Amino acid sequence: MQLKSLALALAGVALSAVVAMAQTPIKPAIVYDKGGKFDKSFNEGVFAGAEKFKTETGVDFRDFEPTNDAQIEQALRRFARDGHSPIIAVGFSQATALQKVAAEFPALKFTIIDMVVDLPNVQSVVFKEHEGSYLVGLLAGMASKSGKVGFVGGMDIPLIRKFACGYVQGVKAAKKDAEIFQNMTGSTPAAWNDPVKGGELAKSQIDRGADVIYHAAGGTGIGVLRAAADAGKLGIGVDSNQNGLQPGKVLTSMLKRVDVAAYSSFKAARDGSWKPGISVLGLKEDGVGWALDDANKALITPEMKAAADKARADIISGAIKVHDYMSDSKCAV
C-alpha cells in the first residue's frame, strides 16, 4: 500500500514538472499604435486580448502609448532591455523601429500586427481586411434606401485603401448601381485620432445622400458613427465591435481580430509553441468577420444575414474572389 502511495506521489510530481515545463515564464509587453489604447477600435482590441490572457493566467503585462514615432523605438528598446518577451508592436508604422530593435535582441520574441518584419525572432500577423469589408459592404448595400453609401478612412495608406476596395465590391454585389463616396481623413498619423474631422467628412457624405457610412479610421471613426447617428443614418464600425457605441444606429462592425492576435502571441510564448514567420488571418481563420448582437439585431433582416452567410462561405470556398487592393494598388470596381 505504501509503495502504491509512493508511486502515485511520484507520478503527481512528474505531472507537475511537465505542466511547469509547458508553461514558460514570460514578461509580455505592448507598444500601441498612436491612436491611443482606448480608441474603441484597433488598439483597444489588442488591449482586450492582452487583458483576456491576464485574466486567464494571472500573468500581467506592461504597455505604452506613444504620441510620436521617436517614442516607438525608445519604448521597444526599453522593454527589450528590461527583458520583456514577447513584445507586441501594434501597427504598420512600427516596422522600421522593430526591425532595428528585434535585431539587437535576438533572444527575445516580438510580434508585429499589420506589417511583415522578416527576422527569425519576429512573428508578423496580417489580415485579409478586404474579405471582412466585402461582407459589411454587402450589408450596407442591402440596407441603403438611397443607393448611396460612404466610406471614411483614417490615414491615406494602401492598407486603408484595401478596406475601402473590399467595401465597394460588397456594396456593388448588393446594388450594382450604388454610388460610394470615399474620403480619407489625412496623410499623417494624426488622421487616426480626429473625431471632429471624421464627423465633418461623414456629414458631407450624408449631405450628398449617403445613408450608410463605414469607417476604417481608428479613433476618428467615433466622430463618423456619432455624425451618422445624429443625422438618423447608419454607421458601420471597424476592428472592435462598435455596435454598442450608437445602439440601433450602427448597422454592424467589421471585426478584425487583433484581440486574438495579441492573446495568441502571449499564450503561445507561455506554452512554448510561439513561432516566428507570417500569419495571414481571413474569414477562413475567423480573423475577420462582422458583428451581430443585441445592439444591431433589429437592423439585420433574415435576408441580409442569409446573404452575408452565403457570401462568407463563397469567399472561403473561392466562389467569390475579393480583390486585394494591396496586390496591385488598384481597385477593380
Contacts of 54 (CB under 8 A, 6+ apart): 60, 61
Q: Show the cell assigned to 267.
A: 499564450
Instruction: Find out whether 168 and 137 touch, Cβ atoms under 8 Å.
Output: yes
What is the C-alpha separation between 143 and 233, in angstroms, rounded? Answer: 11
In the predicted structure, residue 8 carries a pLDDT above the cut 90: no
Average confidence score pLDDT of the chain: 93
Instruction: Find out whether 138 and 113 touch, Cβ atoms under 8 Å.
Output: no
Q: What is the model's pLDDT at position 22? A: 55
Contacts of 188 (CB under 8 A, 6+ apart): 155
Closest CA to 220 of 257, 180, 191: 191
Instruction: Find out whether 248 and 296 touch, Cβ atoms under 8 Å.
Output: yes
Cα-to-chain-centroid distance, residue 281: 10
**Residue 49: HSE in the Cβ half-sphere, 13 Å Cα cutoff:** 26
Q: What is the model's pLDDT at position 181? A: 98
In the predicted structure, residue 295 carries a pLDDT above the cut 90: yes
DSSP code string of 168-192: HHHHHHH-TT-EEEEEEEESSGGGG
* 106 strand-pairing partners: none
Ordered alpha helix ranges (H), the chain: 2-22, 42-57, 69-81, 95-104, 129-143, 158-174, 195-207, 221-230, 258-271, 302-317, 325-328
Distances (CA, A) of 211 to 139, 202, 219, 233, 311: 12, 10, 21, 5, 23
Contacts of 160 (CB under 8 A, 6+ apart): 153, 154, 184, 216, 217
For 71-98, the pLDDT digits (tens) are: 999 999 999 999 999 999 999 999 999 9
In the predicted structure, residue 101 carries a pLDDT above the cut 90: yes
For 215-274, the pLDDT digits (tens) are: 999 999 999 999 999 999 999 999 999 999 999 999 999 999 999 999 999 999 999 999
Q: Show the cell assigned to 116.
A: 511583415
Give mean pLDDT, residues 46-68. Answer: 96
What is the C-alpha separation between 132 and 216, in angstroms, rounded? Answer: 12
DSSP-derived letter for residue 124 is: E
In the predicted structure, residue 103 carries a pLDDT above the cut 50: yes
Calculate ∠ Cα 133-135-139, nearest 5°. Answer: 115
In the predicted structure, residue 11 carries a pLDDT above the cut 70: no
